[in-house]
Structure 1
Amino acid sequence: MTEQTQQSQAKDETGCVIDEDNQIEEVLAALKNERCRKIMRETDQETLSADELSERCEIPLSTVYRVVQRLVEVGVLEKRVRLSSYPQYTHEYALVAETVRIDIGGESVLSLSVSRQSEISGGSEQPNQQLSAD
């Protein structure tokens, strides 16, 4: 990891650094995907269920489930529980990524950092997460 990445990671208490090639490719592929971007735009201001996302984005529900799972796995969305009448509940999704930054180290080492919004799950901050190859 570069010194600059370490410094930015120290400043950002709610982010994660990814430096494995396959994980970087997953994040970039998600950001490139039009359906992923539609879902990210819709969940930027409010949390939405898969049904609501399907309707607003005009994407089939089965596709919405695949896309939100992918975005949750790469750390862009957060999956939450929306309580309704007991014992039923619905999952809803919220955009938690604020910025994505790519750093290129001195030895052509590539790392990607995802900065998360500071207010997640009712204002609690998420600790730094680092995904790296050993």
Structure 2
Amino acid sequence: MSVEVGEKVIGKVTGVKPFGAFVELPGGKSGLVHISEVANKFVEDINEHLKVNDEVEVKVLSIGDDGKISLSIKQAQKPKRERREKKEQSPEDFEKKLSMFLKDSEERMSTIKRQAESRRGGKGR
């Protein structure tokens, strides 16, 4: 079985190095998951995420002319729905929020002006 760019497959970690992990793919080929493609957050120590013989789902990023296969674990994961499904905001909601913000802002500014005037001794002086 040969792998193709963009394909997601299950592989087995065969080696872990400071720069990434080697993963055996179906068909006997192996590829490298660079440390930057292990997780969606910064990975300082790859050993905290992967161990030899772990089964992982990987996405094939590229296959070089020399046969080297570049893989990604983080791109094989499904994106979180919360990030994809942003709540749509209607123009009425925006106008209402803007109006509330302006009203609150004006109230705060008038309070600040009154306090400043009282410290200076009022308007007449």
Structure number having the greater helix percentage: 1
| TM-score interval, normalised by the smaller of the two chains | under 0.3
Q: TM-score when scaled to structure 1?
A: 0.23
Question: With structure 2 as the length reference, what TM-score do the two structures score?
Answer: 0.24
